[in-house]
Amino acid sequence: MRFSPRITRIGSASLLLTAFLVGGATAPAQADVGNVCYTALPPEAHDTLDLIEAGGPYPYPQDGQTFQNREGLLPPQETGYYREYTVETPGSPDRGARRIVTGDSEQEDYYTADHYESFRLVDYDC
């Protein structure tokens, strides 16, 4: 099973959880989205996540550009926090509707199959 290097954020998440339970700190806001297991993603999403880890090169000039979160479905963040990347759609004559949207400091990865109408947080633990 492949484990993304982005999973290293779990260590800091454990520290945050400990601080929350012991010290009464408040946990950061989470998106009101569901989860999707990494293993349940289409193979093209795995390819895109591998490209993100490698830093490119990306197949489309829009890849790596700022995602504005105009739909407001992801947790509010400052401009530039989110980046979007194309997930190839077999048979599509254009970029298709599938994307990975990444968050900067928390390194979260969101998948959308319907061009930003819904998002699922990628769960690397299942």
pLDDT tens for residues 37-51?
Answer: 999 999 999 999 999
Q: Could you tell me if 106 and 90 are in contact, meaning their C-beta atoms sit under 8 angstroms apart? A: no
Instruction: Quote the CA–CA distance of 52 and 6 in Å, as a whole number.
Output: 10
Q: Would you call 84 a catalytic residue per the annotation?
A: yes
The pTM score is: 0.74
Q: Of the candidates 86, 8, 3, 7, which has an alpha carbon nearest to the alpha carbon of residue 42? A: 86
What mean pLDDT comes out for the span 21-46?
Answer: 72
* Residue 111 token pair: 């998948």
- Give 50's DSSP letter: H
Superfamily of chain region 5-123: Microbial ribonucleases (3.10.450.30)
115 carries an active-site annotation = yes
Residue in 78, 84, 106, 108 annotated catalytic:
84
pLDDT score, position 24: 40
| Mean pLDDT computed over 56-61 | 95
User: Residue 44: helix, strand or coil by DSSP?
Assistant: helix
Q: What's the whole-number mean pLDDT along residues 63-75?
A: 95
pLDDT classification of 52: cutoffs 50, 70, 90: very high
Distance from C-alpha of 15 to C-alpha of 93, rounded to nearest angstrom: 46
The residue extents of the domains of the chain are 5-123
> Pick the catalytic residue: 53, 78, 88, 115?
115
